[in-house]
Amino acid sequence: ETGVTQSPTHLIKTRGQQVTLRCSSQSGHNTVSWYQQALGQGPQFIFQYYREEENGRGNFPPRFSGLQFPNYSSELNVNALELDDSALYLCASSPTSGATDTQYFGPGTRLTVL
């Protein structure tokens, strides 16, 4: 069984640019959640996708957007990058969107904004 995978591993961008991060969910999972983990902090919830629809959103501006595809893989897009967007971006998949479903995390994408 393949776990959650993310690409790329590392990324360096400059302020104002746009970035797309990718996540492949674990087999059999239809829900993907994205988290931002700044250095020295716990992860913060960005949003969740359930069966290709956004199912909830944290306190992040609209320049953070996402997609989920029919195979349940997902993308996180960030426009107009700011220095504070530098962080580890974690994707987690779960069997459904329920609160009792364990979220399985990928290794993350380290984004550096210069």
Partner 1 sequence: AQSVTQPDIHITVSEGASLELRCNYSYGATPYLFWYVQSPGQGLQLLLKYFSGDTLVQGIKGFEAEFKRSQSSFNLRKPSVHWSDAAEYFCAVGDASNTGKLIFGQGTTLQVKP
How many CA atoms, within 13 angstroms, populate the side-chain half-sphere of residue 60? Answer: 25
Instruction: Establish if 33 lies at the interface with partner 1 (CB under 8 A).
Output: yes
Own/partner contacts of 46-55, CB < 8 Å, gap of 24 or more, are 46/76, 48/97, 49/74, 50/96, 50/97, 55/31, 55/97
Instruction: Establish if 104 lies at the interface with partner 1 (CB under 8 A).
Output: yes
Q: Which of residues 11, 75, 86, 107 is near partner 1 by CB under 8 A?
A: 107
Instruction: Establish if 73 lies at the interface with partner 1 (CB under 8 A).
Output: no
Structure tokens at 35: 């988290």
Q: Which of residues 20, 44, 73, 86 is near partner 1 by CB under 8 A?
A: 44
Closer Cβ to partner 1, 3 or 16, answer by number: 3
Dmax over CA atoms of the chain, in Å, equals: 39
Instruction: Establish if 60 lies at the interface with partner 1 (CB under 8 A).
Output: no
Residues in contact with partner 1 by CB under 8 A are 4, 33, 35, 40-45, 48, 55-56, 58, 90, 92, 94, 97-108
